[in-house]
Structures are given as C-alpha cells and as structure tokens.
Amino acid sequence: MDIGELFDLHGKTAIVTGGGKGLGAQIAHGLAEAGANVVVCSRDLSACEEVSKELEEKGIRSLALSCDVTKPEDINQVVDTTMRQFGSIDILVNNSGTSWRAPTLELQEDKWDKVMSVNLKGVFLFSQAVARVMVKQGSGKIINIASVSGMGGTSPSLMDTIAYNTSKGGVITFTKDLAVKMAQHNIQVNAIAPGMFPTRITKKILEQSAPSLMDQIPAKRFGNDDDLKGAAVFFASKASDYCVGHVLVMDGGMTALI
C-alpha cells in the first residue's frame, strides 16, 4: 500500500461533534479534504449547517444535525441518521466541549457538573454508541480531543479552570482505557491534545495573557486553522492502524519545556 492509500479517506464516514465551530470545524474540513463523508453535529445547528454547506461545495457528502452530547436520545438520533444516510460510521471525533472560569474555591457545583457532563460524560456516551456500530463493522477510529491542560496543573493567573482541566485529564485516561478495550475489535482509539488555539473557550485567556503565553511557546505562535488537520487525518486513516491509546500533543512545544 502506498502512502496515498494509507491516508485516503474516500468511502469513509466521519461524525464530528462540536463540528460547527473552532477546532471541530477545522477537523471536519481536514477529514473532508482527505475524502471522507462528514456529519457535523452540535447544539448550534445553524453553525453546523454552514460548515456542512462548505464541505458540500468541496464535493463532499455532508449532513448537519442537532445534538446535545449529554443526551443519549440525541446521540442515538445522530447515529441512526448517519447509518441510514451512509451505511457505516468509520470515524468518530469527540470534540464537543465547554469550560467555566472561576477561582477554585468559588466554583459552583452546577458549573462543575456541566463541564464534566459535556467534556467527559458526552465523550463516553458518544463513544459507546458509535463503538457498538464499529464492533459490528469490525473496524473503526475514535479520536478524542483532549488538551495539554489535562496533563497537569496550570497557574490560576493563566487558567483558573479546574473543572475543564480535570475533565480533559479524564479524557486522556478514558482514551487509553477505551483503546485497550477496543483494540481486539480492530477499533483504534487515540487522542489529540491541543495547546493554545484561538477558540471560544480560550478567547478570554488569550485576551488577558497573550504576551506572557507566547513566551511559553517555543514556536512563538498560537495554533492556526490548519495545525490539527494532519493529526486528525492520521488518526482517522489506515496510517494509524497500529497506533493504540496514543495522545498526540499539538502545542508548539509548550509541554516540551516541562
């Protein structure tokens, strides 16, 4: 098999949660450019429809669906609709996420629960639903979007987001354990851990701390609109068939300094 075939996604179908904006939209475009059919879903249906239209203009089959990843009934609807339209689910990207910024000793319980429900429970529920399909198919790729903030503590002056950091640490461990459980079914589960990318979640952080943050990034820049595409296509393609439970850090060298 040549290198083109290893990375080719033609004939494959992907679901990208939180695919209407930010990193999810970037990943959706990357998978589409490699040839995959792409279903984008989130609570913001209009944003998903906009991305889906952009993908179709590239000659890719795409669907935009409404979904709250904390609700099993919404997830099942996305899975069922995708199977009816495309006949398979080959790739799942668990990208939906939220955060709440507050001093640790003042963070309210309901805000903690909300972050955990979307960032961790949602990843579990969607992975479980799609993995059932993939086991029957005998193959599949699950890509979880973690974060470098899930690898350790962060200064409260930079990221006073203990619920978000904890949830992403949970995603990393979940990825490794699910990968072990699914490997026997020819399902590869891996994660991408982005560093600082301009998104809705990082907007306030970058506004307040951009100069000091830049000093902590050896590459001397934040992530751009193309930096996650290659990583996503690698984990979605046959090129990663022997990669199981890996967390690929994409942070411009931030964690290399630790």
Q: Please tell me which residue in 67, 120, 146, 164 is annotated as part of the active site.
A: 164
Cα angle vertex 134, ends 17, 64, to 5°? Answer: 30
* Burial track 238-255 (b if 16+ CB lie within 10 A, e otherwise): bbbeeebbebbbbbbebe
Strand partners, 114: none
Strand partners, 64: 40
Token pair belonging to 176: 């490794």
Q: What is the DSSP letter of 31?
A: H
Answer yes or no: 164 catalytic.
Answer: yes
Q: Which amino acid is at 180?
A: V
- Which sign does the torsion angle of CA 31, 86, 68, 170 carry? negative
As a whole number of Å, the end-to-end CA separation of the chain is 39
Q: Cite the active site residues.
A: 164
